[in-house]
Structures are given as C-alpha cells and as structure tokens.
Amino acid sequence: MPIEQLLILIKPDGIKKSLTGNILTKLSEARMLIIGAKAVKVSEELAKTHYHQLKDKPFFGELIDYIQGKIYGEPWDRVLAFVYQGEDAIVRMRKIAGATNPEEADPVSIRGAYGRITTKGVYENVVHCSSDLSEAEREIKLWFKPEEIVKSIYSTKKVVVEKEKREVWT
Ligand code: UDP
Ligand code: MG
C-alpha cells in the first residue's frame, strides 16, 4: 500500500469543546506517524486560500469565519495543524474523520460523534482532512514550511533570504 501524507486540522469548534485529546486518540487507532504539528491563528488570507475551491458556495463567508474561529473569539480562535503519514493515509483518515455532514457521518467517526450543524447551516465538523493526494500536497505546502516537517516529503531547494525581518527570542 502506498505511503501517503495528509493535512489534518482540529478546527476551532474542536478546540472550544476541548476535544483535542479525544480526536488524537481516535486518529491514533490508524497507527500513523505525526510528522508535523503546530497551533495556528488562521488569517483571512490563509482561510480563503485553503478553501479556494469552495469560493462560489453560498456558505463560503460563514466557512471562512468558522475556520478562523471568529464566532468563538479569544482564546479559541485558532486551529491545531498536523501532517500525518502512513499507508493509505488519506482514505483511512477520512474514514475515521467521517462524512462532511455531521448528521450523515458514521456516529462512531469524529464528525459523527462531535460535529453539529449551526443554526446558520454551517457544518461544524471539528476536523479538516485532506481528501486526495494533490489536495494533500497543496495543503501541506500551504500550512507548513519544509523545516517544520521532520521528514523530507516533497522536493525542496535552498534559497538565500536577505534582509528578512524575523522575530527571535530576546
Ligand atoms: N461545509 C458546509 N456546508 C456544506 C459543505 C461544506 O458548511 O454544505 C463546510 C464543512 O465545514 C466542510 C468544509 O466546508 O468540512 C469543506 O467542505 P468540503 O466539501 O471540502 O468537505 P470536507 O472535505 O471537509 O469533508
Ligand atoms: Mg474538502
């Protein structure tokens, strides 16, 4: 079986409901490796680029607010981002995550167990999970820098960055 990697996000509703542990436990049943992990405050630009394929949907604006955690505000307006790697990772992790609509999702899946549909009709389904290989590559490259992943998974190149202002510890 092919070794694949994908992006998984614990969305702001998962953070607010204190579900991080439960979600990671369910995902760990697939015995895959976490090769990247971090907390991210999602900018509007990142949100729109991440969901660019849905830009014409009527719920796009609500979706962008949702993934940024705007409805929850501080300190829940963030996501946890993970890169998982394993055999047949995409199909197997999507199965554990469950169907997009939490009411149609297998009740034992993450979305079936913990998701809800808001009064505005947004599917708050707790996790994002890349759905195919090319989407996974695009999303991993969008969310992570090469040095934030402990394995080399895509080709990289060395560039000299001059006069870049960077925050460092004092
Ligand atoms: N979504 C929604 N209503 C819909 C379809 C999607 O609110 O009718 C939201 C939901 O949070 C979903 C996200 O938009 O996870 C991205 O949609 P996609 O079709 O890519 O589903 P996914 O890949 O997340 O299962
Ligand atoms: Mg999708």
- pLDDT of 121 above 90: yes
Q: What pLDDT, on a 0 to 100 scale, did the predictor assign at position 1?
A: 86
| Rounded Cα distance, 106 and 69, in Å | 25
- Please give the distance of CA 36 from its chain centroid, rounded to a whole number: 12
List residues with catalytic annotation: 128
Total tally of structural domains belonging to the chain: 1
CA gap 97, 122 in Å, rounded: 17
The pLDDT-based confidence of 52 (bands split at 50, 70, 90) is very high
Nearest listed ligand to the Cα of residue 122:
1
User: What would the mean pLDDT of 47-65 be, rounded to a whole number?
Assistant: 97
Q: Which listed ligand is nearest to 125 at the C-alpha?
A: 1
- Closest residue (by CA) to atom 11 of ligand 1? 123
pLDDT of residue 144: 98
Whether residue 165 lies inside any domain: the answer is: no
Q: Identify the CATH number of the domain in which residue 141 sits.
A: 3.30.70.141
| Nearest residue (CA) to ligand 1, atom 25 | 100
Q: Please give the residue range of the domain that contains residue 57.
A: 3-148
Of the residues 6, 63, 90, 122, which should be mutated to test ligand 1's pocket, given the most ligand atoms within 8 Å of the CB? 63
Mean pLDDT of the 19-32 span: 98
User: If we measure between CA atoms, which residue out of 76, 92, 88 comes closest to residue 126?
Assistant: 76
Neighbours of ion ligand 2 (CB under 5 A): 131
| Residue 118 counted as domain residue | yes
For residue 32, the number of C-alpha atoms closer than 13 Å in the C-beta half-sphere is 28
Between the CA of residue 129 and those of 27, 79, 102, 155, 170, what are the distances in Å? 11, 13, 14, 23, 37
Residue 159 in domain: no
Question: Cα of 100 to ligand 1 centre, how many Å?
Answer: 6
Mean pLDDT computed over every residue of the chain: 97
Q: How far, in Å, CA of 118 to CA of 105, rounded?
A: 16
Q: Is residue 41 part of a domain?
A: yes
Mutate to test the pocket of ligand 1, among 57, 66, 123, 138 (most ligand atoms within 8 A of CB): 123
